[in-house]
């Protein structure tokens, strides 16, 4: 069982997962809004943004952590946080300028940031769980 977990947590697999998840985020944020399910809960869109960027940040941190021999300090996580937030900003700018059915939203960027920041804090607290 541990060998399977080690193989799953290998750098190549994690890199593939992180890139695939990043690509999935792009696809989901650029498909027409009419192609998405409608939810009548106030703030659900922001919650989805936060959860997606939480997952994105966890995957990229885990990849770097494993690649660097089970090490990832807070400074490097914060640098990665900046990159992930820039990714979110870029998505919103492209939605605003280059799509006919989607609009950019500053509050989406805030939700992206909050989700990713929670991932940084949580990862720094529990990263020793991933040491095998």
DSSP letter (8 states) at residue 37: P
Site of tokens 């820039």: 86
- pTM for this prediction: 0.84
92 and 108 in contact (C-beta within 8 Å)? yes
- 3-state secondary structure at position 69: coil
pLDDT digits (tens, 9 = 90+) for 84-132: 999 999 999 988 888 777 777 899 999 999 999 999 999 999 988 877 6
Domain limits, the chain: 2-32+49-130
Q: How confident is the model at residue 34 (pLDDT cuts 50, 70, 90)?
A: low
Distance of CA 68 to the CA centre of its chain: 20
């Amino acid at each position: 069982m541990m060998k399977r977990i080690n193989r799953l947590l290998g750098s190549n697999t994690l890199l593939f997962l992180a890139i695939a998840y990043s690509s999935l985020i792009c696809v989901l944020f650029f498909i027409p809004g009419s192609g998405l399910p409608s939810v009548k809960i106030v703030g659900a869109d922001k919650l989805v943004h936060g959860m997606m960027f939480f997952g994105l940040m966890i995957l990229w941190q885990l990849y770097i952590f494993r690649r660097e021999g089970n090490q990832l300090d807070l400074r490097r996580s914060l640098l990665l946080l900046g990159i992930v937030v820039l990714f979110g900003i870029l998505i919103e700018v492209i939605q605003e300028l280059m799509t006919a059915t989607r609009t950019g939203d500053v509050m989406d960027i805030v939700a992206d940031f909050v989700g990713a920041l929670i991932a940084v804090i949580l990862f720094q607290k529990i990263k020793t769980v991933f040491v095998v």
